[in-house]
């Protein structure tokens, strides 16, 4: 019964059709429930996106990521960026398991390895930092050591890195390094529907990506909102302080409910239980959508509730067996 929700987060409309009810709480995605305020931003929908505005977005984003703008290519969502890069570099690859399903799809000849075996320097290596779904984080220096002696590319998915940029290896991007980093806009800024992401790479990879993306890879809205959000230092600083505090409150609820929260990324927690699919359905019956996993029937990922009321509803559903 949980199969429709094990591919990735989301599927709220399907949950409504299956379980009924209204006033749903979607905790399945790991997206910041406190979105950057788009306010009264207006866009001229009759004009094609401006190439100068796109270049400005990449300059502002590059400053935020800590590297030069010539190494930044904006893409319509990290998912597309991952798959395009996979088709560009080709060759055999390994991806750290467990992690995003896309990592196993982006290059045809892939295999999963445990994190402890990642030092193998053969072929391309794909990892997420922080990792999804277990929230594992690895220090930037440790990630950089994976480049030593590698005969392929190191591809680092930093979709959840905005909360603590100290873990990012984006500043290490260089034309002489076989390192590519992927950054997501929607998760930290809470606007996943905008479909905005970035590939940070040597200039040859950036140029090849631009050729494949064509003249207008992003909408005018994505360009304008992304540029303003990355320049909003006050909102970014306040959010980096707020999210860990709210994650601590979620941890307290999980512990009181008999679970041990797993993970260091404040946008979600992983829990283990005897039958996570049954718990998924129990929460769904109370209009709370979490994230189950087909290959890990003891795991359930729970995103950050938006407010105290949502947190209280989650606690009531977890404890009312």
CATH number at residue 206: 3.40.640.10
- For 175-226, write each residue's pLDDT tens digit: 999 999 999 999 999 999 999 999 999 999 999 999 999 999 999 999 999 9
**Could you tell me the pLDDT band of residue 114, with boundaries at 50, 70 and 90?**
low
Both 132 and 264 in a single domain? no
Backbone angles phi and psi of 185, in degrees to 5: -90, -40
Both 239 and 196 in a single domain? no
- For 134-165, write each residue's pLDDT tens digit: 999 999 999 999 998 888 999 999 999 999 99
Question: Does 118 have pLDDT greater than 60?
Answer: no
Q: 């409504």: which residue's tokens?
A: 16
The domain tally of the chain equals 2
Both 189 and 257 in a single domain? no
- For 13-70, write each residue's pLDDT tens digit: 888 898 998 899 999 999 999 999 998 788 888 999 999 999 999 999 999 999 999 9
How confident is the model at residue 110, as a pLDDT?
53
Total-model pTM: 0.91
Mean predicted lDDT score pLDDT of the chain? 91
| 249 found inside a domain | yes
How confident is the model at residue 145, as a pLDDT?
92
User: Distance (Å, rounded) from C-alpha 81 to C-alpha 18?
Assistant: 33
| 259 found inside a domain | yes
| 155 found inside a domain | yes
| 44 found inside a domain | no
Both 62 and 198 in a single domain? yes
- For 223-245, write each residue's pLDDT tens digit: 999 999 999 999 999 999 999 99
Both 184 and 242 in a single domain? no
How confident is the model at residue 313, as a pLDDT?
97
The answer to whether the bond into 98 is cis (omega within 30° of 0) is yes
User: CA nearest 267: which of 287, 292, 239, 238?
Assistant: 239
Question: Furthest-apart CA pair in the chain: how many Å?
Answer: 56
The answer to whether the bond into 99 is cis (omega within 30° of 0) is no
Question: Does 122 have pLDDT greater than 90?
Answer: no
Mean pLDDT for 256-269 is: 97
Question: Does 132 have pLDDT greater than 60?
Answer: yes
Mean pLDDT for 313-317 is: 97
Torsion of CA 10, 137, 248, 239, to 10 degrees: -70
Max mean pLDDT among 6-15, 80-89, 119-128 falls in: 80-89
Contact assessment for residue 99 and residue 132, using Cβ atoms and an 8 Å cutoff: yes
CATH number at residue 291: 3.90.1150.10
| 312 found inside a domain | yes
How confident is the model at residue 22, as a pLDDT?
87
User: Distance (Å, rounded) from C-alpha 198 to C-alpha 57?
Assistant: 11
User: Distance (Å, rounded) from C-alpha 47 to C-alpha 249?
Assistant: 45
Mean pLDDT for 287-315 is: 95
Contact assessment for residue 243 and residue 266, using Cβ atoms and an 8 Å cutoff: yes
Range of the domain at 22: 3-35+234-319
| 43 found inside a domain | no
How confident is the model at residue 131, as a pLDDT?
94
Q: Is 274 helix (H, G, I), strand (E, B) or coil?
A: coil
**Could you tell me the pLDDT band of residue 169, with boundaries at 50, 70 and 90?**
very high
Both 71 and 209 in a single domain? yes
User: Distance (Å, rounded) from C-alpha 63 to C-alpha 284?
Assistant: 42
How confident is the model at residue 11, as a pLDDT?
83
User: Distance (Å, rounded) from C-alpha 256 to C-alpha 250?
Assistant: 10
More confident residue, 3 or 123: 123
Tokens at residue 283, please? Answer: 């929460």
């Amino acid at each position: 019964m949980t199969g429709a929700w094990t591919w990735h987060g989301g599927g709220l409309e399907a949950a409504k059709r299956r379980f009924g009810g209204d006033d749903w709480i979607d905790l399945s995605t790991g997206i910041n429930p406190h979105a950057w305020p788009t306010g009264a931003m207006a866009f001229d929908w009759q004009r094609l996106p401006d190439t100068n505005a796109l270049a400005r977005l990449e300059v502002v984003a590059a400053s935020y990521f800590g590297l030069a703008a010539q190494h930044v290519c904006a893409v319509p969502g990290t998912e597309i960026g991952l798959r395009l890069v996979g088709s560009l570099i080709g060759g055999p690859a390994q991806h750290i398991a467990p992690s995003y399903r896309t990592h196993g799809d982006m290059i045809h000849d892939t295999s999963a390895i445990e994190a402890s075996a990642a030092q193998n320097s053969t072929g391309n290596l794909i990892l997420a930092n922080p990792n999804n779904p277990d929230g594992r984080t690895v220090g930037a220096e440790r990630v950089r050591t994976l480049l030593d002696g590698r005969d392929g590319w190191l591809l680092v998915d930093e979709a959840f890195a905005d909360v603590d940029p100290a873990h990012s290896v984006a500043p290490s991007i260089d034309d002489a390094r076989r390192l590519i980093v992927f950054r997501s806009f929607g998760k930290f800024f809470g606007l996943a529907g905008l479909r905005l992401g970035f590939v940070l790479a040597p200039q040859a990879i950036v140029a090849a990506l631009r050729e494949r993306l064509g003249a207008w890879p992003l909408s005018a809205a994505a360009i304008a909102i992304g540029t303003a959000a990355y320049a909003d230092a006050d909102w970014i600083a306040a959010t980096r302080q707020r999210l860990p505090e709210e994650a601590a409150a979620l941890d307290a609820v999980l512990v009181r409910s008999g679970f041990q929260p797993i993970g260091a990324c404040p946008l979600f927690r992983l829990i283990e239980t005897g039958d996570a699919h049954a718990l998924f359905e129990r929460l769904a019956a109370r209009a709370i959508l979490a994230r189950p996993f087909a290959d890990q029937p003891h795991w359930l990922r729970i995103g950050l509730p938006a407010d105290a009321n949502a947190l209280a509803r989650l606690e009531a559903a977890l404890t009312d067996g």
